[in-house]
Every structure is written in structure tokens, then in C-alpha cells.
């Protein structure tokens, strides 16, 4: 049994190294504007943190919200300008790295499915949300 676990750990390590090298290469080519890992909090939290920090909105393309909460090691959000998307997709294909477009940034609305919130309100909740419960 230990041998199988050891092989599985090597596989994970190899895949993470391929992804890390891919991210390094596209970053070195200046095709990436930013990024975030999703290992702590999932896609939703990582995307919200990017939007809060940069005071921008985001609209998820999918109406299904169930996948937004998974915490997976070795998965990353990559932010790029539209003009670099095709180059990144081609580089991913060559390196056998799977990509998925999640949505698009907008001026000030954070939208998931039919629900939306103004980014300024999301920032307030993020910065002061627990104050109501603590005080």
C-alpha cells in the first residue's frame, strides 16, 4: 500500500511542477497581469480577494456555484489581458496544462449566477464584517 501512495505523491509533485513551470514561463513572457492560488478558500474566495484588493468587479460565466468552494492544491487563477489569452491557451496546450475561463472583470459588480453585489459593499463586508459581531 505504501508503494501506491508513494507513486501517487510523485504524480502530484510532477503535475504541480509542470503547472509551476507553465506559470513561470507565461509570467516571464509578460502575458500575466496577476494570479492567486485557490488552495485556501476555493475559487470564490480567491476571486473575491483579487477583486477587493484591486477594487474591481467580476462576473462568473457559469450559473452553477457548487464548484466555487472546492479547495484544491496546485490550482491557480491566472489573470491576463484579452490580447494574451490565445498565447496562454496555446502554451497550456503544448504543456498539457488544463485551463478554464471563469468569467470576466468589470468596473464594480461582483456577480455569481443571479446574485450580485457592488464591489464597494463587498470591500466593506470584508474589512468590517466581523465588527458587528464582536462589538
Predicted confidence (pLDDT) per residue in 36-85, tens digit: 888 778 888 889 999 999 999 999 988 777 777 776 666 788 899 889 99
Joined together, the cell numbers standing for residue 91 give 502554451
Residues 1-18 have pLDDT tens digits of: 455 555 555 555 678 888
Count of structural domains within the chain: 1
What are the cell numbers at 24?
513561470
Spatial CA neighbour of 105 closest among 128, 85, 126, 129: 85
SS3 107: coil
Question: Where are the alpha helices (H) located in 38-111, listed in sequence order?
Answer: 42-54, 85-94
Rounded to the nearest 10 degrees, what angle do helices 119-128 and 42-54 cross at?
100
pTM confidence score? 0.76
For 93, the domain range is 2-134
The CATH number assigned to the domain holding 88 equals 3.90.650.10
To the nearest 10°, report the CA torsion of 67, 41, 80, 13: -90
Amino acid at each position: 500500500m505504501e508503494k501506491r501512495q508513494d507513486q501517487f505523491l510523485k504524480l502530484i509533485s510532477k503535475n504541480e511542477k509542470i503547472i509551476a513551470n507553465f506559470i513561470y514561463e507565461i509570467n516571464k513572457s509578460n502575458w500575466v497581469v496577476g494570479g492567486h492560488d485557490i488552495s485556501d478558500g476555493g475559487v470564490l474566495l480567491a476571486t473575491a480577494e483579487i477583486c477587493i484588493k484591486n477594487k474591481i468587479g467580476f462576473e462568473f460565466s457559469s450559473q452553477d456555484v457548487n464548484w466555487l468552494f472546492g479547495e484544491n492544491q496546485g490550482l491557480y487563477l491566472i489573470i491576463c489581458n484579452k490580447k494574451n489569452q490565445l498565447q496562454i491557451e496555446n502554451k497550456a496546450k503544448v504543456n498539457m496544462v488544463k485551463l478554464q475561463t471563469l468569467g470576466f472583470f468589470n468596473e464594480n459588480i461582483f456577480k455569481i449566477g443571479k446574485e450580485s453585489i457592488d464591489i464597494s459593499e463587498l470591500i466593506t463586508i470584508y474589512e468590517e464584517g466581523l465588527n458587528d459581531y464582536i462589538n
